[in-house]
Structure 1
């Protein structure tokens, strides 16, 4: 589009320039010819001046003057003509058939009164006139530039002229050359535009391929990280089930077997079985608590029952109990119900952020702020730890995968994810837009897809 606009501008300017050049050439040529014709007329006037100033007005003197003018010519179409001031032709060397004719009412093909225009110019002191006249050498009508003066002593109009068909031909050649130059310029612009389009297309294709490769690489890393996360989660669940719940259940099983053996060997000694069963009940209660803890780590029930704010407060309390961090949770704005995927995403971001702070930041205090704005919900996690180089972390393909996963999760929800870090402070913020109430679906514990 830019090249097309440039081409239009160049063509317009070139056309205007060609028109101005044509007008200048034509004006300069006509001016030079007018000066030349005036000199010719002055020469003719000087040739008959002695006869005019002699005071004789007889027919013989006039005939001698006419003959002198008839002998003056300059080329096949360069001659002088005479008319009286009433429009009757007195002398015409190239068209003698016009001599004696009254041409006062003669009109050219455009309807202009040719002789009247010439006589008017002569009466006004002399000057040039453009008109159409039959060219003697070709017998065709052609444009002509004439120059006339009056000879008031004898009531004559003396004039000469030059035909402009050669000038018109030259100007047409100039126009044709200008049009050819303009077409060549347009062709060059077209070639440049085509090359530019090809270069832009090639660059865009290369960039697109590069972006696709980068996206594919990130997708492979993400898929690998998802698989790795699943395996890590399975290994963690396996360890917890084996080291905690499984051992407790084995212990309960042994206690129950001991109680059964005692009852079988001494049915009347029931009081000795009661402590064993009591211990078994305590350990079963521990098993139930351990199962609840594992289920809560998979998905906190508070997130479904009481909402994101309560889940974050519970997460902060649990993290404080297991670490030396001081974690404060607050909110701004009026709390509202969030879509299930938004609440889960913000909870996982807070969980990941607190885990990273505990492992890497060496921080003492962390603040979580949940802001309910009019158009968005914003979670901000800020700590007073050592900080890290965010740009370097993003470029390293082996590090920061968890943060990239969180960023992509927020992007999938149409939100924004940002991290600002430096020595002494790291601030993470996640923003998700407000969705209509009918779209804010909550987790259903009775759903077949529920992890419970």
Structure 2
């Protein structure tokens, strides 16, 4: 039995989708948290710089009032700022100070740099950080990001600083915080949160699978059984797997389904038996209709012996038409289906029958038959048989001065969605306007009426003999169009 199924795929897809959603939500939360922490760090260093400015503000005021010289004011500010050392989340930190010309003035953890020109100092990315700090300070203060070694490890890490300019002294003060620890906190938060939620989800999924495992196995078993029944409806497997309890829902469902299939199978057998009986009866009906038509034909032949020559010709035409219809019923009786007949065989038998009735011992024309192998509905076969009978009769009676030299060609072929029936001869020809003016010809009138019942078109060619062509739409044998007004196909006769 196949264990995997669409439900397995759906369950796995749902679990993967849930984990993906959790990861996305965790990443979004972590990014938002990082932005919040970074904003808090920025506000913190801004506040520390403000405290530094307030600490040296009295010195700046005394300088601006003329109480101190510039070098004295800078010296006192440097002493004050060197004492402002504090701890941040990553390491020890400080307030720094530099002149606008790039001279570093306060650097508590790198005193050797104080008094040196650091105008061209670059970080690991080639950024001129002192120039960026001076530019920002001159614009009124702000934040600058760059890489700078930590005081304890001397490893360049990402740092964000806030600086404020003291334009009267031509210098700036500021402080910064390393922000790599934020990424570390975010990674830890993300991994811990995501793994925790995924773990809970997996535990919950495991519990669900354990609780619903019997139902899932029953569902898989039912899918397997249904697929086997679909492949082989005649074989109904009644055994149950060992893990199905006697009163489980799956066993009850299978038992009911098995009972339904047994009833359906019995009903189908009854229908098939009834259908076979009806087919036998219908074939018997066709056989009896054919016998009755032959009896009528024989009676007409007996009656003709008491009539004049002209009257005998009229009866003979009727006998030919009756035989054309009788051949259809005989073909249905002898065929494998009640809905259509073998058109090629039917036309051969019909042509042979008409030829026997309308030729004498003196000679007969040659009939060439070219018919595609295809079935045709009974209704269309009757109409085509009557048309062919009239066309053959017309050719045998009027086309040849010497019948033994005559040739009649019968063609029936299928082209896409239409049928083409034609009868041609190499005889003396006929009036090209015969179809417009039948001159009381019953045969031509019948042909036109039968063509109309086929929804077809009748054409006539009189070059090198005579050729009648009937073109009509092809219909499926089982869905032939019924004649109008409820008439049977032969009601025109």
TM-score (norm: length of structure 2)? 0.44
TM-score (norm: length of structure 1)? 0.48
